[in-house]
Amino acid sequence: MLQGLLKPVRRRLGVWFDHLAPRGCALCDQTLAPGAFPGVCMACLLAMPGANRLRCARCGLPASASADRQACPCSTASPGFDQTVAVADYAAPLDRVVTSLKFGRQLNLARPLGELLAARWLGSSPAIHLDCLVPVPLSPSRLAHRGFNQTLEMARSMAATVRTPLPVMPFTLRRIRDTAPQSGLSLDERRHNLVGAFSCAGRFDGLHVGLVDDVMTSGSTLTESARVLKAAGARSVIALVVARAMRDSPA
């Protein structure tokens, strides 16, 4: 309730702050108009690789106009989530922004990335209903080392951007053990690496859950998270990712 009341205030304050200190485009630093949404200039939006790509609605991999679902790898190796909303490909310049947020501790980049996610979700056709946002969690030790969870920061930005109430639930899905980095592992190894990595401390009965992550590569992390959310009652799980990498990407 209080969050709902504060949202318009936050949005209005954001515009005022934009007047005081105009924002730069997250991708090229060109000055944006106050209140510009999302926080990326039009030239960069149009130039982001894969931003206008036709994608498999379920897994977000590129699809051709003539291809049916049978042609997509997810038709035989079904992911645990139901749909994917992806802003663009994991490629320059978006990859640099994602990396700068996560490893360069540039937390200010969470706002435009969350806004990009919001814009892409709001533009989904047919519309996708979400009841809440769940950020993919870090393990306690990784969170302590990094000091923040970039997916939570992006989810908060997305929720603050949209006009409908969209609660962010950061503590219900938990990562209960550290896992080896996914890069360099085969698809089978990635899945095996994550078994038992997540648990759920609450119920999501009947809810359509938006599962927020920065990059999807094999989809193994999102698949295992979605499996746990569905075991906790989620009616559907929608993967919301800023960048969709191809399966052989190092991300």
Task: Specify the pairing of strand 236-244 against strand 173-175.
Answer: unpaired
Q: Which stretch binds Zn ion (CB under 5 A): 41-49, 91-99, 149-157, 223-231?
A: 41-49
* Binding of residue 56 to Zn ion (CB under 5 A): yes
Give whichever of 27 and 197 is closer to Zn ion, judged by the CB atom.
Answer: 27
* Binding of residue 72 to Zn ion (CB under 5 A): yes
- Dihedral, 235, 239, 240, 244 alpha carbons, nearest 10: -170
* Binding of residue 54 to Zn ion (CB under 5 A): no
Q: Which residue has the tokens 């550290």?
A: 178
Q: How far is the CB of 243 from Zn ion (least distance, A)?
A: 16
* Binding of residue 25 to Zn ion (CB under 5 A): yes
Give whichever of 179 and 218 is closer to Zn ion, judged by the CB atom.
Answer: 218
Three-class SS state of 130: coil
What backbone torsions phi and psi does residue 240 show, to the nearest 5 degrees? -115, 105
Per the CB < 8 A criterion, the answer to whether 219 and 244 are in contact is no
CA dist., res. 117 & res. 25, Å (int)? 15
Amino acid at 216: M
* Binding of residue 74 to Zn ion (CB under 5 A): yes
Q: How far is the CB of 45 from Zn ion (least distance, A)?
A: 8
* Binding of residue 240 to Zn ion (CB under 5 A): no
* Binding of residue 166 to Zn ion (CB under 5 A): no
